[in-house]
Amino acid sequence: MNAALTLSNITKRFGDLVANDDVSLSLDKGEVLALLGENGAGKSTLMNILFGHYIPDSGSIHVFGEPLTPGDPRAAIARGVGMVHQHFTLADNLSVLDNVTLGTESLLSLRASRAQATATLQALSQRFGLQIDPYALVRTLSVGEKQRVEILKALYRGAKILILDEPTSVLTPQEVAQLFATLKQLVAEGLSIVFISHKLDEVLAISHRIAVLRSGKLVFEGNTSDATKAMLAQAMVGRDVEPIQRREASHASADVVLKLDAVCATSVESRVALRDASLEIYAGEIVAIAGVSGNGQTLLADVVCGVSQVTSGEVKFKGKPMALNVREAIAHGIARIPEDRQHVGSVADLSVWENAVLPRAGDVRFSRWGVLNARAARAHTNELVHAYDVRLASIEHPIRKLSGGNIQKLILGRELSEAPELIVAAQPTWGLDVGAVAFIHSQLRDAAARGAAVLLISEDLDEVFALADRIAVMSKGCLSEARAAEAWTMQSIGLAMAGESDARSERHAA
């Protein structure tokens, strides 16, 4: 009688791939069920079936005891199911307000109705600590801000069952704590939550029960109180996974690979300008930029990779000024791993092999007299797939059919296989499982050990402290001095991320 949601014997196939294999789960009223699994384990497929995006080949779903019409998102929303996707489903050309209210009322509503909608949205923003400008165009928002809009969109519709797919991946520890406090309050009032995350500490902190999928099958289900991180990691990947640990200090050479000297830049995509950013990165070291999403980190990465132009200051690569365009950056051996793997790092409708050579399609290895050498490109792609453990059915399929983790591993292989001298890795493990995270960390460490300079931009402070030799903080477009990782504490770096003065941060570090 307490069941808010019941999934019975759900099976879903895509050709020869069995994405969900006879999966049965239940969710009680006022319960948080954590759903874990590797990228590609079937979690998103199962939740897309629940939300009506996919129709199962067999099985049934009941919401509050009543059968749910398959393949009908409107029916799911009407029954109180809300979903926050890991990959956003927002209209970039509309405002935050219009995205949140889209489908709930006419865009031609009277001013009074929109005023009420604005007030409701602002109240939700305040309540959840997810501040956002209701009138900002979504295309101007950072990845983190877009995820806030997704969360607010579901809450605005009054969801009774809330599916959260990696909801904290771009939030600061303080924002996570705020969100968890609110979720606990709503759960106490009867809200039911399916919480999908790869952050095992968060899963253990917020959930009541945990279910693990592996290769489409339910392989573990139990109470959170009986689970450990090691047990969950082993259930997810089928083997023991080494936890993230502080890496040994690198032996950086005296060669400066990248130097930013009082760089200023603006961009229509970034509402925060880059102001007088100065930084040096040496060969063989990893320098991490920490900061709350939307504070200028993306613009900094775009400047280094030639995507955005500087308005003043200078960027030098190996002692020589750069002209700052994408073609020259690639020619100089700068590898780019963008934070948005879906829209910036890949072209969804192109095949896996086309994406694998896309940035270097004009290279003599893959092109003759302006004509793409498909055979060579496919051979190269197969080598990457094998070397970087990219799991897929065929390199001929559109890349959008791959899980997020496998897209990221392909992008990583595409860039690191070129033996770059500088690697710009922005949120390289966002939304990835523990196995994929460990793999990507090992690849970045190995690249630094071979002499590459690594600029790591991450909002995951555990990742920052585990990988970085030096750490700088970005706040409101200003870049702090890069200090040795040992000079920072979680408290001092949190203060710097919030825009506190260097002096106060130094006192807390001491």
Superfamily for the 3-237 domain:
P-loop containing nucleotide triphosphate hydrolases (3.40.50.300)
Which fold would CATH assign to domain 256-333+420-509? Rossmann fold (3.40.50)
What is the average pLDDT across 267-272?
73
Q: What's the pLDDT score for residue 69? A: 92
Question: How many Cα atoms occupy the beta-carbon half-sphere of 271 within 13 Å?
Answer: 13
pLDDT tens digits, 204-216? 999 999 999 998 9
Strand bridging mode 310-317 / 256-267: antiparallel
φ, ψ of residue 310 to 5 degrees: the values are -85, 150
Average pLDDT value for the chain: 86
Nearest to 259 by CA among 320, 327, 192, 186: 320
φ, ψ of residue 125 to 5 degrees: the values are -60, -45
DSSP 360: G
Q: What's the pLDDT score for residue 507? A: 46
Tell me whether the CATH fold assigned to 3-237 matches the one assigned to 256-333+420-509.
yes
pLDDT higher than threshold 70 for residue 243: no
185: which 2 tokens? 């309050």
What is the average pLDDT across 452-467?
90
Residue with tokens 């390199």: 395
pLDDT higher than threshold 50 for residue 509: no
pLDDT tens digits, 147-206? 788 888 888 888 899 998 877 766 666 667 777 887 887 788 788 999 998 888 889 999
Would you kindly state where each structural domain of the chain is located, as residue ranges?
3-237, 256-333+420-509
pLDDT higher than threshold 70 for residue 316: yes
Q: How many other CB atoms are found less than 10 A from the CB of residue 398?
A: 15
Nearest to 289 by CA among 3, 510, 483: 483
Question: 357 or 362, which is more confident?
Answer: 357
Q: How many other CB atoms are found less than 10 A from the CB of residue 269?
A: 14
In the three-class reduction of DSSP (H, G, I as helix; E, B as strand; rest coil), residue 380 is classed as helix
Least confident of 208-212, 280-284, 440-444: 440-444
Which H, E and C letters describe 225-240, residue by residue?
Answer: HHCCHHHHHHHHHCCC
Q: Where are the alpha helices (DSSP H) in 224-351?
A: 229-237, 297-304, 326-331
Beta strands in 186-306 (DSSP E): 192-196, 209-214, 217-223, 256-267, 270-282, 286-290
> Which amino acid would we find at residue 286?
I
Q: What's the pLDDT score for residue 142? A: 67
What is the average pLDDT across 419-435?
86
Least confident of 251-255, 424-428, 455-459: 251-255
Least confident of 24-28, 107-111, 239-243: 107-111
The answer to whether the beta carbons of residues 295 and 477 sit under 8 Å apart is yes
